[in-house]
Amino acid sequence: MTRQRILITGASSGLGEEMARRFAAKGRDLALCARRLDRLETLRDELLAAHPGITVAIGELDVTDHDAVGRVFGELSAELGGLDRVVVNAGLGKGAKIGTGRADANLATARTNFLGALSQCEAALELFRAREAGHLVLVSSISADRGLPGAKAAYSASKAAVSSLGESLSAELARTRIVVTTLLPGFIATEMSGKAGDDAKMTATLDEGVSAMVEAIEKERVRVALPGAKWKVIDVALRFLPAPVTARFV
């Protein structure tokens, strides 16, 4: 099935911005959301210049504002004549060791990554349930598999919540025409991953990472760790090996 009308959150940079370019090249119509409207306007102009046959709608959106999520999703859906796929991608990578006086960073990450994702799922599924069809994509992280120590604790916990939400919705909607995909990316070169200090030897290029993500989305996989076989192995290891073993490399 071709999902022609695709909404992507967090589309002003990183994975979201590059996914928008890939789907535009496939001739898809796009609804792009992010807090930085100026960057969305620049991206829209770029995509329309390269692919004049598509439609690109944009909307300024802070996903931690629950009421705004429903309103903006509704407005963009109306502008495109409906939505076939929603990619819940907006995320935050702030963090500090818990109890060191930087609760603001950890709470912001939790609000954006999980509560923001939950708001997006509420809005997307309300639209999909009304038409009894759609594809919901949740961008989680390989860090969801096992709690990470130090500054990444709140981030990994928030992504574990996203993965659990994806599993719940996949089970609930398995016998319907609403498909749910949960992606668990490993290290992919973005501005956010650079600030997080991810291991350069383990980091895929943005091209490699987004290529794998788009392929998995188009195949409508239920759950997939990516990019490449190494992250599938790491995914299994983190989920099933004993904690004393995985503690050596997390």
Neighbours of 242 (CB within 10 A): 7
* Residue 134 CB-density burial (10 A; 0-12 exposed, 13-18 middle, 19+ buried): buried
Neighbours of 102 (CB within 10 A): 16
In sequence order, what are the beta bridge partners of 57? 31
- 23, 114, 128, 155: which one is catalytic? 155
Q: Is 155 a catalytic residue?
A: yes
- Given the structure tokens 């004393």, which residue do they identify? 244
**Helix, coil or strand: residue 205:** coil
State the Rg of the chain over Cα. 17
- Given the structure tokens 């796929």, which residue do they identify? 85
Looking at the annotation, which residues are catalytic?
Answer: 155
